[in-house]
Structure 1
Amino acid sequence: MNHPEPSPEERDRLLGEAVALRSRPDETAKEEARVRLVALADRLPADAEVAYQTAWAHDVLGREAEAVPYYERALADTGTGTGLGEEDRRGALLGLGSTYRTLGRHEDAAALLGAAVEEFPEDGALRAFLAMALYNTGRHHAATRLLLTLLAATSEDPSVRAYRAAIEHYAQDLDAIEGAG
């Protein structure tokens, strides 16, 4: 049975209730949230936020393959002005990239996360997930370089901070040997 599109108030209420259920620790609530979000996404196929929350509900249940079309829908530029806000967009990019990687779609993950890092260069989580995807594609040097640069930039460990400049320098060319040549 097709249900009509909900009013904005009803949409917000239904979405809020489902997100609250998803946040509970028990699997039964998470599954109920997933079912409700799928129904809401069916009623609002162009709603990026609903699609993102539906993808997330699948991910928390380990249903990554089912999450993909919702993440892709959330990130699609429909030109309607109903896209995701910045924080949700970051989350959707990370979620889809991580999901691609989990599903063995390593090249897709690396491409998507690489573009996400260009869009949000200060996001350390995106860079960490990109490093994992790069590792999975066999680009071990690029992955290690990215992680070392991230470590040097974000570590609060005093011993890492003391060698920050050296770590950043050597991260650029892990195979360099001083004085060779």
Structure 2
Amino acid sequence: MNNNDDERDGLLAEAVGLREEGRQEEARDRLLELAVRYPDDAEVAYQTAWAHDVLGLEAEAVPFYERALKGPGTGLTEEDRRGALLGLGSTFRILGRYEEAVATLRAAVEEFPADGALRTFLAMALFNTGEHQESAQLLLRLVATTSDDPYVRRYRAAIEYYARDLNETV
């Protein structure tokens, strides 16, 4: 690691620390400076997107999420990649860009099928596109497979069965 990497890591840690302390505007300013200095850095782009999202600046977050996710080897950790995919999909949904939200979140669920948060956000986006049945199916399967509620667990098989065809009455 060279001095440039050390400097970048220190500045990034500082900016993330500011965001975590609730100093979102300062964090955003620092991250915007870093994004200019390191335009191809996926982690900087992801943190910059997140800083915008926290402030309700969703439209400004999108290009940073897209930059963070660009290319096959983005350099993001698996956890940050999940977060960036969820952030971008959720942001598209908030902006009313429902088809893009569904496409982003479908791809994310394909990549991370065990991630219940991604499936939940996909269900919301599907609801917004009028895909109510698929939305409900996703949520029912999620509840059936992840709930700790003893009554849900008792009826897990029935919930999963009916999730396949919500219109079945017999």
Contact 2:85-2:105 within 8 A present in 1 as well: yes
Mapped to 2, the partners of 1:102 and 1:174 lie a distance apart of 28
Larger gyration radius, structure 1 or structure 2: 1
Match of 1:24 among 14, 21, 24: 21
In the TM superposition, residue 176 of structure 1 has moved relative to its aligned partner by 1.2
Q: TM-score, normalised by structure 1?
A: 0.91
Corresponding residue number in structure 1 for 2:141: 149
Match of 1:14 in 2: 11
User: Would you say 1:47 and 2:44 are equivalent positions?
Assistant: no
Alignment partner, residue 174 of structure 1? 166
Query: C-alpha distance in 2, partners of 1:82/1:52?
Result: 10
Superposed CA RMSD in Å reads: 1.0
What is the deviation of 1:146?
Answer: 0.2
Unaligned runs of at least 5 residues, structure 1: 1-5
For residues 32-71 of structure 1, the aligned pairs below 5 Å read 32-71=26-65
Identity score, percent: 69
Q: Return 5+ residue gaps in structure 2 as ranges.
A: none
Rounded Cα–Cα distance in structure 1 between residues aligned with 2:167 and 2:152: 20
Contact 1:49 1:83 (8 Å CA) reproduced? yes
Q: Which shifted more, 81-90 or 16-25?
A: 81-90
Structure with the higher helix share, 1 or 2? 2
Q: Contact 2:15 / 2:31 at 8 angstroms: preserved in 1?
A: yes
What whole-Å deviation, never above 9, does each CA across 1:121-156 have from its counterpart, x for those lacking one? 000000000000000000000000000000000000
Aligned match of 1:113 = 105
Q: 1:82 to 1:123 in 2, by over 3 A?
A: closer
Counterpart check, 1:96 vs 2:65:
no
